[in-house]
Chain A
Amino acid sequence: MRGIITDRMGIFRLVLAEMRYRWGGALLGALSIAVAAGCLIASLALLREHDLVTARILAEKEKDLARRLSVYEDEVRKLTKNMGFNVLILPRETDLARFYAEDSPGATFPEEYAQRLVDSRVVTINHVLPSLQMRVKWPEKDRTVLLMGVRGEVWIKAEGQRPIQEAVAPGEIWLGHELHRGLSLKPGDRVSFMGREFTVGRCRSERGGKDDITVWMNLAEAQELLGLRGRINAILALECNCAAGVDRLGEIRAEMARILPETQVIEFQTQALARAEARSKAAAHAREQIEQERRARRELGRKKEILASVVVPLLWAAGGVWIGFLSLFNVRERRLEIGLLRALGVRTFPILALVLSRAKLVGLGGAVLGLAGGLAAVLLWSPNPEMRQAVAGMIRPGTVLLVLLGAPFLAGISAWIPAVLAARQDPAEVLRNG
């Protein structure tokens, strides 16, 4: 052996020479530690990469959400640009505060206004729904209800038009959900309303508003009951539009005021509100998707952590046991050598050091191999920027020292029993028996 030409042979040099001579056993031990160390490093890198990829995916989705919302808002704005307005035409004298509070306009205007609006052709309207509505007492049932006299749509186009409101047949009433439920009425029942007999035509499902306490009836019969023959107090005009202009609602209002004197026009539901609702729903949906992604990746990460927390310690334990067996085998193989060293006056501690140093060197070699191999393996497995970043994060003094010190420590612990057996070996017995 070269390199030992000093005034003293050291245990460390002896260990190195022996390892070089019996390199197979040393290599097997180092490989077992390398697998454990490599798996530890690879697991840490994979978990770190998972976090980084999650952060990137979520950031990309957030960015995409913002971009899509912007595009969506723009598209909605463009789409609604040419969409008509819904307007409610009320008598000019109607106090809106009172109307909103009581659901009754108070004043009335002629029923023929509805036909005049259709005939004017100045404003494009798709649906015209005249009504007479009033909060009244239902004396027979001792209830306050909203009476809505309707006649269905005023026909604008005879062909191809799908009515959005049906007319109530004479002699029938339709009841809101709260009324028919509270009064235990069903279609076909006969019922007295303000002194006249009606048949319950329909019982409407729950809508969660004033519709639930509304009684719908034929407009003419409502006019008769209320003593307002030929009068109505509201026209709902849906999807109104005009040819051009910036302030289209203003232009529509002006046109209607000219066609229908003694009326006022209020916008029924704004485009802005529709846009806001649409945007809000889209954003909520997208955010829910992002949240789902976040939860899914968190769960995946948790599963990976659990797997790593089981597999890595098992591999370390297996590596430790393997080192222990190899050390035991090595000690048995070197019984004569150890006996000779005792005969040469080598004491207990150097014999312990002889076995433990060997195991620690094997552990150190395995740790270096595992560190390099683990990082190389994950880079080959997943060559993405996050993995490169994760690997760079692994090459820190703390992590490297943990592996480079931890593996020899474990190997030393594993070889402790073989070392003690070697130190306690009776040299006389070995040398006597040859």
Chain B
Amino acid sequence: MLRLENVVRIWRGPQEVRALAGVSLEVRPGEFVAVHGPSGCGKTTLLLVAGGLLAPDSGRVEVGGEDLYAISPERRARLRAARVGFVFQQFHLLPYLDVLGNVMAATLGHPTEGAEERARELLGRLGLGPRLRHRPDQLSAGEQQRTALARALLNRPGLLLADEPTGNLDEAAAEEVLRHLEEFARAGGAVLLVTHNPRALARAGRTVRMENGRFL
């Protein structure tokens, strides 16, 4: 589902940083891969490059067999909307939309038939059925992250990119989010998780350690 070949990404500035120094990785459908490593080792850069949001300086990134950075930005955006789901540590919910509205926001980039019905079903599965009309500031952190997860899953992506999704959650809420990521992978989805959480690492099918922009 996701293939990175010898990807290099350098952050240029007063001091040049090789965030990704020739990284190669493949995440197949049904696989749950967790990447861990110290802060600043390039984990988040890896996710952004994998999600088509940050072009590498060199190397190749494929999602569903399509070279992400060989296509136009508009087509890349469509592909991202249809095949990639993002989950962030900070949730990034729109504060002026309720739970259902936030999940439906995924249709802005990829309108699909029956989206609302699926949104309701997803939210029900994630235990947010009674919270459809609540706004983010009326939800707990775990509920917010589950809302973000529902948004990421709405368009039935093949790849889920999760950046420290349990970083702001208590133990129980983190467990629940991890359980849903596992379920997604078991259902045939590919998960690339970036985390410091040992429990999350324990739940992953494969773990990769990263340091100084390289996999060890």
A residues sitting closer than 8 Å to B (CB atoms) are: 1-2, 4-9, 11, 14, 17-18, 20-22, 336-337, 339-348, 350, 427-428, 431-432, 434
B53 CB-CB contact with A under 8 Å: yes
How close is A12's CB to chain B, nearest CB, in angstroms? 11
Cα–Cα distance between A22 and B94 once the two chains are bound (Å):
12
A22 nearest CB neighbor, chain B only? B96
B116 touches A344 (CB 8 A): no
B101 CB-CB contact with A under 8 Å: yes
Given the interface pairs A7-B115, A7-B116, A428-B53, the reply to whether A344 lies near B98 with Cβ below 8 Å is no
Q: Which residues of B contact A8 (CB under 8 A)?
A: 104, 107, 111, 115
Cα–Cα distance between A432 and B17 once the two chains are bound (Å):
15
Subset of 17 A-B contacts with CB under 8 Å: A1-B96, A4-B97, A4-B104, A7-B113, A8-B104, A8-B107, A8-B111, A9-B101, A11-B108, A14-B97, A18-B94, A21-B96, A336-B92, A341-B109, A345-B78, A345-B80, A428-B54
Given the interface pairs A345-B78, A345-B81, A432-B44, the reply to whether A9 lies near B90 with Cβ below 8 Å is no
Given the interface pairs A7-B111, A350-B108, A434-B90, the reply to whether A343 lies near B51 with Cβ below 8 Å is yes
Contact string against A for B residues 78-108, beta-carbon threshold 8 Å, 1 for contact and 0 otherwise:
1111100010101010111110110011111
B133 CB-CB contact with A under 8 Å: yes
Q: Which residues of A contact B90 (CB under 8 A)?
A: 336, 434
B148 nearest CB neighbor, chain A only? A340
A336 nearest CB neighbor, chain B only? B92
B78 nearest CB neighbor, chain A only? A345
A1 touches B98 (CB 8 A): yes
Those of B14-37 within 8 Å (CB) of chain A: none
Partner of B86, one of A7, A343, A432: A343
B48 CB-CB contact with A under 8 Å: yes
A20 touches B44 (CB 8 A): no
Q: Which 5 A-B pairs have the closest CB atoms?
A: A345-B81, A345-B109, A21-B96, A428-B54, A9-B104
Q: Which residues of B contact A4 (CB under 8 A)?
A: 97, 100-101, 104
Q: Which residues of A contact B114 (CB under 8 A)?
A: 7
B45 CB-CB contact with A under 8 Å: yes
A431 touches B82 (CB 8 A): no
Given the interface pairs A343-B51, A345-B81, the reply to whether A337 lies near B44 with Cβ below 8 Å is no
Cα–Cα distance between A1 and B74 once the two chains are bound (Å):
29
How close is A333's CB to chain B, nearest CB, in angstroms? 11
Query: Given contacts A345-B78, A345-B109, A346-B77, could you give 11 more A-B pairs where the C-beta distance is less than 8 Å?
Result: A9-B104, A336-B92, A337-B94, A343-B80, A344-B80, A344-B81, A344-B86, A344-B105, A344-B151, A345-B77, A345-B79
How close is A343's CB to chain B, nearest CB, in angstroms? 5
B81 touches A2 (CB 8 A): no
How close is A427's CB to chain B, nearest CB, in angstroms? 5
Q: Which residues of A contact B151 (CB under 8 A)?
A: 344
Given the interface pairs A7-B111, A346-B109, the reply to whether A21 lies near B95 with Cβ below 8 Å is yes
Cα–Cα distance between A48 and B95 once the two chains are bound (Å):
48
How close is A434's CB to chain B, nearest CB, in angstroms? 6
B203 CB-CB contact with A under 8 Å: no
Those of B36-81 within 8 Å (CB) of chain A: 44-45, 48, 51, 53-54, 73-74, 77-81
Cα–Cα distance between A8 and B115 once the two chains are bound (Å):
7
